[in-house]
Amino acid sequence: MRLLALLALTSLLTLNPAIAKQHTRAAVQDDELIEQGDYTNSDGQEVHRPAHSKSDKIPDGASAKCRDGTYSFSTHHRGTCSRHGGVSEWLG
């Protein structure tokens, strides 16, 4: 049953790139980050949760640095770093 569901999803994503885009988060180097995990934003896209960088360098795909030192990968300004003390600086 799981195999059939996986095959159906794979064929759906292959036939409709717009759906695939909604479920593919931006390239983030997970090995650079301490915290892991994703959330679904208001556009239905998977986004990496705010996380600290192991090297304290700006991780790939980060859009903002939060006041608590985490990096956000948010695609919208509204709500970015809301549970992390707010935005310290916007990146890129």
Q: Read out DSSP for 2-24?
A: HHHHHHHHHHHHHH-HHHHHHT-
User: Distance between CA atoms of 83 and 92, rounded to whole angstroms?
Assistant: 21
- Provide the pLDDT for residue 1: 55
Look at 10-19, 54-63, 70-79 and tell me which has the smallest mean pLDDT.
Answer: 10-19
SS3 37: coil
Give residue-wise pLDDT tens across range 31-67: 899 999 999 999 999 999 999 999 989 999 999 999 9
Tell me what the pLDDT averaged over the chain comes to. 80
- Provide the pLDDT for residue 31: 86
pTM across the whole model = 0.70
Output the six-digit token pair for 54.
């192991």
- Provide the pLDDT for residue 61: 93
